[in-house]
């Protein structure tokens, strides 16, 4: 087959018109920081909304549940559109939804309207999240763990920059004004960032890729085949990866959703520790910072030791941290330190699992394929939220919830090392044994290195 038959419209884009890939990485990071408020600053709005609309906290929190559903479960479809249309247009559309989500919520006077507009924001956040992660996967096969980790970490830590001004504006001007102002800010930031994004030309590889690829394949099981989502779900490794992500996401989401009820149960929620902050508030601040830093850190580690080894090491550490937290949670300082360690060992799933998905199933459909894997977060949330609360109500203690987290962490850690690692190696070796196919020569693209 001649290379001319592989020409597609996107392959005709001149390399000089595509922004440098590191500039694209920064744009993706900034866009992710801009959408972080929709999830992590939500807690600041709950009480003002409850007082304004005269509704229960449970009714208010359904807004957040709908947001998570829209942000998570539509990512496979949104990722497919990103792979087909490209990230620039899709993130441009996402920027309008992200902005409208908060602007509309600011004007909402009924709970139904609030649900609708915040769900629109969830759809937009899913587009931005999936598109930014997918773009990092495609442009950085040579630094995949680190760059995906930096992008995902921006979502985890983004609110640390804006939480203080948002809280101050809510106090001085009201939550509705804050929604509207920051809706415009977030939408405009994402729109500007989208202008810097573009998918790689067909056949593009990083500089010195041949030498780099040899080093990467010595440490990481890397496929030479671009699988469609349908082909991916036919692979046994997909179901193993999905199950592992459900199990590992469960533990971290329990701490995310239930940290305050746990602190109340163990009487550390109102103890002032330092800087005038309670143990609970300080723990939340530390958790968010470490939840962001862990993603590039463990992504970088996985680039050097392999994805499965990094998953094993980090989640054995997570199991140890959860066990220690169970023993020492009633001590304020240990509560802060160990909950932080739990987040540091957990948040890396949002860099390691996108990376292993790109490694095993290729670049072309990376956004869609990880979108499918990402739905595991939604499955885990059902167990971590209502499930963990039900078990606590049934037993009157958090200890069984902690032990469920420990068991899930250890089982998944050993599954990565003893099951996924050899399975992936066999699959890659099988691909290498097949006859080679004619593919376009790599594009040596100046300006995208």
**The three-state (H, E, C) secondary structure of 199-252, written as one string:** CCCCCECCCCHHHHHHHHHHHCCCCCCCCCHHHHCCCHHHHHHHHHHHHHHHHH
Q: Is the pLDDT of residue 38 over 70?
A: yes
pLDDT digits (tens, 9 = 90+) for 193-210: 999 999 898 788 888 888
- pLDDT at residue 123, as a whole number: 96
Interval 286-307 mean pLDDT: 91
Q: Provide the pLDDT for residue 435.
A: 52
pTM of the entire predicted model: 0.81
User: Half-sphere exposure (CA, 13 Å, Cβ side) for 241?
Assistant: 30
Per-residue pLDDT tens digits for 223-248: 878 999 999 999 999 999 999 999 99
**Average pLDDT for 132-155:** 93
What pLDDT is recorded for position 334?
96
The mean predicted confidence, pLDDT, of the chain is 87
Of the given ranges (5-9, 18-22, 220-224, 346-350), which has the lowest mean pLDDT? Answer: 5-9
Q: Is the pLDDT of residue 120 over 90?
A: yes
pLDDT at position 410: 97
DSSP symbols for 143-193 = SHHHHHHHHHHHHHHTHHHHHHHHHHHHHHH-HHHHHHHHHHHHHHHHHHH
Query: Residue 69: in which H helix or E strand, if any?
Result: helix 57-73
What is the average pLDDT across 287-305?
91
Q: DSSP string of 348-399?
A: THHHHHHHHHHHHH-STTHHHHHHHHHHHHHHHHHIIIIIHHHHHHHHSSSH
The tokens describing 100, both together, are 């409208």
The stretch 130-150 carries a mean pLDDT of 93
> Which pLDDT value is given to residue 163?
78
437 pLDDT exceeds 60?
no
pLDDT number for residue 277: 80
Say which residue, 93 or 385, is predicted with more confidence: 93
Residues 6+ positions from 315 with CB-CB distance below 8 Å? 248, 345, 346, 409, 410, 412, 413, 416
Q: Is the pLDDT of residue 436 over 70?
A: no
pLDDT at site 16: 52
In tens, the pLDDT along 370-383 reads 999 999 988 888 78
Q: How confident is the model at residue 446 (pLDDT cuts 50, 70, 90)?
A: very low
Which domains can be identified in the chain, with CATH numbers? 16-194 (1.20.1250.20), 217-433 (1.20.1250.20)
Lowest mean pLDDT among 9-13, 105-109, 144-148, 346-350: 9-13
pLDDT for 167 equals 84
In tens, the pLDDT along 42-55 reads 878 888 898 999 98
Residue 13 has pLDDT above 50, yes or no: no
Predicted confidence (pLDDT) at residue 28 exceeds the cutoff of 50: yes
């Amino acid at each position: 087959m001649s290379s001319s038959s592989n020409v597609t419209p996107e392959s005709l884009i001149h390399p000089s018109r595509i922004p440098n890939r590191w500039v694209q990485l920064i744009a993706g990071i900034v866009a992710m920081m801009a959408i972080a408020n929709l999830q992590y600053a939500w807690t600041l709005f709950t009480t003002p909304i409850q007082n304004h609309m005269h509704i229960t906290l449970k009714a208010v929190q359904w807004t957040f549940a709908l947001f998570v559903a829209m942000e998570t479960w539509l990512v496979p479809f949104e990722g497919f559109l990103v792979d087909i249309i490209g990230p620039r247009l899709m993130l441009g559309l996402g920027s309008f939804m992200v902005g409208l989500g908060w602007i509309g919520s600011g004007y909402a006077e009924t709970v139904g309207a609030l649900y609708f507009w915040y769900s629109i924001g969830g759809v937009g956040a899913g587009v931005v999240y999936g598109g930014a992660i997918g773009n990092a996967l495609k442009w950085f096969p040579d630094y995949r763990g680190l760059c995906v980790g930096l992008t995902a970490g921006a979502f985890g830590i983004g609110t640390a920059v804006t939480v203080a001004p948002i809280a101050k504006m809510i106090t001085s001007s009201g939550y509705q004004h804050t929604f509207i102002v920051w809706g415009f800010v977030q939408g405009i930031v994402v729109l500007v960032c989208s202008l810097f994004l573009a998918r790689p030309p067909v056949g593009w590889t990083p500089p010195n890729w041949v030498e780099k690829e040899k080093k990467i394949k010595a440490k990481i099981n890397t496929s030479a085949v671009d699988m469609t989502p349908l082909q991916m779900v036919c692979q046994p490794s997909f179901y193993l990866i999905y199950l592992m992500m459900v199990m590992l996401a469960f533990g971290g989401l329990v701490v995310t959703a239930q940290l305050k009820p746990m602190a109340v149960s163990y009487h550390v929620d109102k103890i002032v520790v330092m800087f005038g902050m309670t143990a609970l508030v300080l723990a939340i601040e530390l958790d968010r910072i470490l939840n962001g830093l862990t993603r590039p850190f463990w992504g970088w580690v996985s680039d050097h030791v392999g994805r499965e080894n990094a998953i094993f090491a980090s989640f054995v550490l997570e199991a140890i941290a959860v066990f220690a937290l169970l023993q020492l949670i009633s001590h304020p300082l240990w509560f802060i330190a160990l909950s932080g360690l739990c987040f540091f060992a957990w948040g890396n799933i949002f860099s390691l699992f996108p990376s292993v998905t790109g490694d095993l199933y290729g670049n072309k459909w990376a956004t869609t394929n990880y979108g499918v894997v990402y739905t595991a977060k939604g499955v885990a949330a059902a167990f971590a939220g209502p499930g963990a609360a039900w078990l606590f109500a049934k037993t009157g203690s958090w200890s069984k919830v902690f032990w469920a987290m420990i068991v899930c962490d250890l089982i998944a850690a050993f599954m990565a090392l003893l099951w996924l690692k050899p399975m992936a190696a066999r699959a890659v070796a099988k691909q290498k044994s097949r006859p080679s196919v004619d593919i376009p020569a790599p594009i040596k693209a100046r300006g995208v290195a």
